[in-house]
Amino acid sequence: MSAPVQRLAVLGSPIEHSRSPQLHLAAYRVLGLPWSYERCDVPAGTLPGFVGGLDLSWRGLSLTMPLKREVLPMLTSRTPLVDSSGVANTVLVDGDRLRGFNTDVAGIVGALADHHIADVDIAHVIGTGATAASAFLAAAQLGASRIVISGRSLDGIAALEVLGDRLGVHTEWRLYGSAMPLRADLVINTLPGDVDPDDVPEADLGSVLLEVPYDPWPTPRAARWGERDALVVNGLEMLLHQAIAQVRIFVTGQEGGQLDDEEDVIAAMRESVGLHVEGSAG
């Protein structure tokens, strides 16, 4: 008997740029699953209506801006990582249950691991939104003892400071425009690619930049880093690794589940978006 068709989608607004459909559809082809995966433009405030219209054909949702926090009250269950970050980017539709997960942290850690970065001391997170919380947790997982936050929202900064207190990580902050040169082992920028705060040159001190936005590429920040031969990790690599974790959840029904032919699945996902990293692992 053939596997039933299941529907999946990436939701957000704007959403036209998303490369998630290429990644997911490549995986499901290798796995022999006749599943669909589409882009759905879902602006802030409209997610409850979308979720209310889901039927039994739906298997999962990938969430991007501005929905990663808006979804939380709708979840039937959520992982400890969702609770600690306050962010869910993945929803498994399990009958009438909506199970929430955060694969963004794994996406950041996996993208950096491909470049043999598994340990940092000082990290700098630019931005205070939903992805910044995941970036903060990823930096903590990589051993950061000091995390500096740059942002414009005092409420967002305060929320990340609370997270730092819970994790026992020394946290500092600064508002955009403040003159505070900083050299970090790792800079993670979570702002959209077309947002370039006035003090960004001061933030461009560091050994490694992970630039979360990937379209268009390179961003102004990535181009500056590239001019001085610094290591720049494209946000598309983060997207790949968080998508690998999502596919595992959607297919196996659990976080961290192993896929059949997983190496082939990951190779196909890489190929679908033109990523080639030697010696990498999913």
Q: Which residue has the higher pLDDT, 174 or 206?
A: 174
Contacts of 53 (CB under 8 A, 6+ apart): none
Q: What is the pLDDT of residues 197-256, one digit of tens each?
A: 555 555 556 789 999 999 989 988 888 888 877 899 999 999 999 999 999 999 999 998
Same-domain status, 256 and 172: no
Same-domain status, 127 and 218: yes
b/e per residue 156-190 (b: at least 16 CB within 10 A): bbebbbebbeebebebbbbeeeeeeebebbbbbbb
Contact in structure between 69 and 130 (CB atoms under 8 Å) = yes
Q: What is the pLDDT of residues 112-154, one digit of tens each?
A: 999 999 999 999 999 999 999 999 999 999 999 999 998 888 9
Amino acid 59: pLDDT: 98
Q: Is the peptide bond before 66 cis (omega within 30 degrees of 0)?
A: yes
Amino acid 282: pLDDT: 41
Q: What is the pLDDT of residues 70-115, one digit of tens each?
A: 999 999 999 999 999 999 999 999 999 999 999 999 999 999 999 9
Same-domain status, 71 and 154: no
Residue 138 lies in a domain: yes
Q: What is the pLDDT of residues 23-79, one digit of tens each?
A: 999 999 999 999 999 999 999 999 999 999 999 999 999 999 999 999 999 999 999
CA–CA separation, 5 and 280 (whole Å): 31
This prediction's pTM: 0.93
pLDDT classification of 1: cutoffs 50, 70, 90: very low
Structural domain including 37 reads 7-103+243-273
Q: Compute the mean pLDDT over every residue in the chain, rounded to the nearest whole number.
A: 91
Contact in structure between 208 and 233 (CB atoms under 8 Å) = yes
For helices 130-141 and 154-167, what crossing angle results, to 10°? 30
User: Strand locations in 121-244, DSSP E?
Assistant: 122-126, 146-151, 170-175, 184-189, 206-211, 231-234
Residue 15 lies in a domain: yes
Same-domain status, 138 and 184: yes
Same-domain status, 117 and 45: no
Same-domain status, 99 and 110: no
CA–CA separation, 69 and 279 (whole Å): 35
